[in-house]
Structure 1
Amino acid sequence: MAIRRIKQIIDSHPSSDGDGVKIQRAHGFDNIQFSPFLMIDELKSESPDDYIGGFPPHPHRGIETLTYMLQGHFQHKDHMGNTGELRSGGAQWMSAGRGVIHSEMPMMTDGNLHGFQIWINLPATKKMLPAQYHDFQPDVIVEKQFSEQNLIRVIAGDLTIKGETLTGPLQKTGVPTTIADWRAAEGESFNSCLNPDFQAMLYIYQGAIAIEGITAQAGQLAILDSGEGLSIRATEDTGVLLLSGLPIDEPVVHYGPFVMNSMEEIEQALSDYQHGRLVE
């Protein structure tokens, strides 16, 4: 079985979004090796001033978002009437489809905040479907404890470990994906099988890892080569997001909250939003 290796490391960079929320961002809108993923934002702060403004109402078209919180609460509201409380350890998924207007606002004014928002592309055939939303409370995230200090949480898709398949609660993404959170102490390891047709990458949010002698550390995104096997070793106390999915071989045109296949479609999205047609 071919073991995947690290073929590229991308450093995240400071940015801000919403009402001044400070984030670390790694994106690959123009990088086919990212597909089907587009962007990973890490929200991490001990200061409410960095995030208290949240993400007031704003539009999207052509993507899905998966928001996953390690610590902190957000409240989601959208034009469809959905209201969901994203709690520590939980996740929420939204498919913008042809259009959604939503907000994500913190529900407390002090304490730590640490979480992620992942943008997932939609294939052209699904970019204009109706929007959808679902939240997943912490108790439905599938967990496997290998030792006292070695834990995997599967949020989306399926992950096979030593012949056992763990199935996350999110199964209806626009393209097949597997998204998981691995936490381990220094010296612990993680071995699994990935779909060989999927592209895969790791976002290290704590500590450092080694794969076949190549290391990556907190704040870095490691893009993996092809293969079926995955073998990771924690070289420090570590937290890692595993992102794996079936690539979409289509043009990507990105403008703000809209991701389509052509500039003409972006211009149509802007016009629809400006004239109140985005969420018809």
Structure 2
Amino acid sequence: MDNFTHKGTEKVTQSSNSSTGIRPAVRVIAGHPSADGAGVKIHRVAGFQSADFSPFLMVDEIRSENPDDYIAGFPPHPHRGIETLTYMLNGEFEHRDHLGNRGAIAQGGAQWMRAGRGIIHSEMPSQSRDATGMHGFQLWINMAAKDKMSKPGWRDIQPEQVREVALDDHGSLIRMIAGQWQVHGNPESAPLLDAAAEASVADVRLVAGAEVNLPLPADHSVLVYIYRGALDTGRGAVSRGNLVLFGGGESLKLRAPEDAPEQGTGMLVLHGKPLNEPVVHYGPFVMNTREQIEQAVRDYNNGTLAE
């Protein structure tokens, strides 16, 4: 049980749920403070070399009421070989890229970007310094080797486009941002269906004591990042800022502790098909070999990355 209250390095646990088809919580990975872009303060969980993460690579959370922590944003920078998904709970961000795409999202909205063979973009706060803080996430999703040099792309998903379904009569809900889900026995499609590796992302919010069981593909990896309250795993509570990796099974059971705060538990639920391919990561580039990374750096330096 102590494994699930530990807030340092990852811990491995055992569970008897696997025989019932319910995925056991097998590992907790603590997030850590970091910075990116022009000094933006973030809380990061990275899993570039973890097969359990695949196809996901990283979860970044921006959460601050101090504009000095985020106002400088992420000026123009390159990417190759990944997709990103940005989702906002509070605050506003604007995307611009070399393809001419431009769009802003606010509370409840999301943005998807496919770097493919190369994209240069910026992500900048579009709110004033006196706004009521910022809270959002960016996920890095790996691309299969055969797709890494594909055409880049981008789209935004406004809050009203996100599919939202009540989970009970007390305020629990699921907001489906990407991929395929099944809720109350009904198949549900999120607005974003063309993410890499069948990657699916949802925002699940549970009131204190609430429980939900989500059927998920048995061959998918499943990760849950807690951004509010705590998740009751049955073997202890995992607090905000940590990520839980789940083992094999046919469904995912999520439960908010009885003593959860008034706002309950909030979490990002991620599932996707593992790629089972080598991962070589250097800064904004994620490829399969060191030679491909070196080529990406050369392409960026000589101005051909985004051609």
TM-score (normalised: structure 2): 0.90
> 2 CA distance for matches of 1:163 and 1:74?
35
Paired residue for 1:87? 106
Paired residue for 1:30? 49
> 2 CA distance for matches of 1:102 and 1:164?
38
1:197-249: per-residue Cα shift (whole Å, max 9, x none)? 10001000010011233421100000000111111110111101001000001
> 2 CA distance for matches of 1:229 and 1:129?
33
Q: Secondary structure at the match of 1:34?
A: coil
1:88-237 superposed matches below 5 A: 88-108=107-127, 109-110=129-130, 111-146=132-167, 147-235=169-257, 236=260, 237=264
1:84-143: per-residue Cα shift (whole Å, max 9, x none)? 111110000000000000000001123210000000000000000110001000001000
Paired residue for 2:96? 77
Between 1:227-236 and 1:114-123, the stretch displaced more is 227-236
Q: Secondary structure at the match of 2:197?
A: coil
Q: Secondary structure at the match of 2:196?
A: coil
Is 2:40 the partner of 1:21?
A: yes
> 2 CA distance for matches of 1:135 and 1:242?
20
Is 2:286 the partner of 1:259?
A: yes
Between 1:199-208 and 1:173-182, the stretch displaced more is 173-182
TM-score (normalised: structure 1): 0.98
Q: Secondary structure at the match of 1:88?
A: coil
Q: Secondary structure at the match of 1:93?
A: strand
RMSD: 0.9
Query: Is the contact made by 2:170 and 2:207 (CA closer than 8 Å) also made in structure 1?
Result: no
AA at the equivalent of 1:136? I
Is 2:274 the partner of 1:247?
A: yes
Is 2:64 the partner of 1:45?
A: yes
AA at the equivalent of 1:246? K
Give the strand-richer structure, 1 or 2.
1
> 1 CA distance for matches of 2:116 and 2:57?
15
Query: Is the contact made by 1:6 and 1:214 (CA closer than 8 Å) also made in structure 2?
Result: no
Between 1:155-164 and 1:248-257, the stretch displaced more is 155-164
Percent identity of paired positions between Structure 1 and Structure 2:
51
Q: Secondary structure at the match of 1:29?
A: coil
Paired residue for 2:301? 274
Aligned positions, number: 280
